[in-house]
Amino acid sequence: PLTAQVNGQDHLEVGGCDVTELVQQFGSPLYVVDEETLRTTCRQYRDAFKQYYPGESQVLYASKAWSCLAICAIAASEGLGIDVVSGGELYTALQARVSPDKLYFHGNNKSVAELEFAVESGCNIVVDNWLELQTLAGMPAKETPIRILLRLTPGIECHTHEYIRTGHLDSKFGFDPNQLDEVFTFVSQQPTLNCAGLHAHIGSQIFELQPHQDLAGVMVQWLTKAAGYGLSIQELNIGGGLGIRYTESDDPPSIDAWVKVISEAIAAACQAQNIALPKLLSEPGRSLVGPTCITAYTIGSQKTVPDIRTYVTVDGGMSDNPRPITYQSVYRAVVANKMSAAMSETVAIAGKHCESGDILIKEASLPQTEPGDTLVVMGTGAYNYSMASNYNRLPRPAAVLVRAGEANLILQRETYQDLIRQDRLPERLSGLTA
């Protein structure tokens, strides 16, 4: 899916830019986002819903995957709304000039300040629990009621890493479906709340279509039930979750297949229950940005433990990509300045952090490498920058947006000054270091 090719110098090119030259210009580690792929993917989602869903639809980009001004702005310019989960993500999307009516604010413990900020901004609020529902209901009435959606736990299991499953009953997210009566009754009595939709999300990096099809059926039942309480629910938001291909052995369904299954299941269930089609919302994160980005590193030291393993070390690691150490995620790598060299060895690609588990790829097939080579890890657009840290006080990397041979900085590399920007040295300590 990347607009990538190998140029005459045997170097990897993404979006018409030689990755090795990008590293010379912007330094490493460097996130490189392919704008064309990002835009194409946004359109694929949008067009697929237009094609398969007979009613209205709206795709929201789940910005937890990567929240920054440029990516929010691109998603919005392709007609997408944005899903945000914190005051910080909401602020970012608003600063990217995304229209508030296309913003959906999630989260299972929004603070009062966050809720006030959300109400003030005019965005949609996806209410997760009783405390939040009561807080919103208790706010002074505005000119127009606060537009909310209710997040419900669907009780659907799916096969993915336990940390990223959310649909099963024993989940911290959403109202327990056994409390639907109380929730619907309460909401129907609140003149200051406009309950416009229902939401559910079953998990992430999911390769099966069946759980999403089941979810569609469950949600339409909720819709019918809500009508019994006099609630006129116009929107169903089915969350995100479509998995992507990190390595050759991954075989996720296409965006088209995912959208088709969900659209048809919702439409069929509505027809069976004889109710009007709701507006169908979805919130892809990983599948929208994941494949659109690579991370370029510079190779440094190497260590061979005879008969066991060779470690090839790069100038980043778990601080710019915490997914391998957190979820045992597997990635694929290439050497950007030796694209057609024969593979010569299987090595471990290690990060530079003071932590043995800081291994980006346990087994990577690479050509002979040497210090200074550019190592590229593929598919790093989702949950990399957004989960990045300053562990060991590494500055966060820069990110560039590439398109037709042009590269624009979208995230500046942090400096050492940035690292101590929030540090304060109490007066009584300053003498100690003089």
Residues belonging to the binding site for substrate are: 286, 323, 327, 355, 383
Give CA–CA dist 171/160, Å, rounded. Answer: 14
Binder to ligand LLP among 102, 106, 352, 403 (CB under 6 A)? 106
Residue 239 found at the interface with ligand LLP (CB under 6 A): yes
Are 64 and 382 in contact by the 8 Å Cβ rule? The answer is: no
Residue 240 found at the interface with ligand LLP (CB under 6 A): yes
Out of 72, 158, 195, 354, the active site residue is 354
Contact characters 172-211, ligand LLP, x per CB under 6 A: -----------------------------x--xx------
Q: In what order do the strands lie in the sheet with 12-14?
A: 4-6, 12-14, 17-18
Helix (H, G, I), strand (E, B) or coil at 367: coil
CB of 384 to ligand LLP, least distance (A): 8
Are 309 and 356 in contact by the 8 Å Cβ rule? The answer is: no
Are 244 and 381 in contact by the 8 Å Cβ rule? The answer is: no
Residue 286 found at the interface with ligand LLP (CB under 6 A): yes
- Indicate the annotated binding residues: 241, 283-286, 323, 327, 355, 383
Judged by beta carbon, residue 174 or residue 338, the one nearer ligand LLP is 174
Residue 29 found at the interface with ligand LLP (CB under 6 A): no
Are 267 and 277 in contact by the 8 Å Cβ rule? The answer is: yes
Residue 337 found at the interface with ligand LLP (CB under 6 A): no
CB of 326 to ligand LLP, least distance (A): 7
Cα dihedral 359→362→363→367 (10° resolution): 10
CB of 331 to ligand LLP, least distance (A): 12
Helix (H, G, I), strand (E, B) or coil at 225: helix
- Vertex 312 angle, CA 362 and 407, to 5°: 95
Among this protein's residues, is 123 annotated catalytic?
A: no
Binder to ligand LLP among 252, 284, 351, 379 (CB under 6 A)? 284
Give CA–CA dist 149/127, Å, rounded. Answer: 6
Binder to ligand LLP among 23, 62, 136, 299 (CB under 6 A)? 62
Residues of this chain, 342-401, that bind ligand LLP according to CB under 6 A: 382-383
Residue 83 found at the interface with ligand LLP (CB under 6 A): yes
Binder to ligand LLP among 241, 278, 291, 397 (CB under 6 A)? 241
Residues of this chain, 294-323, that bind ligand LLP according to CB under 6 A: 323
Helix, strand, coil shares of the chain, percent, nearest 5, are 35, 25, 40
Residue 139 found at the interface with ligand LLP (CB under 6 A): no
Give CA–CA dist 429/256, Å, rounded. Answer: 61
C-alpha closest to that of 80 among 277, 378, 273, 284: 284
Residues annotated as catalytic are 354
Query: Which residues are near ligand LLP by CB under 6 A?
Result: 62, 64-65, 83, 106, 164, 166, 201, 204-205, 239-242, 283-287, 323, 327, 382-383
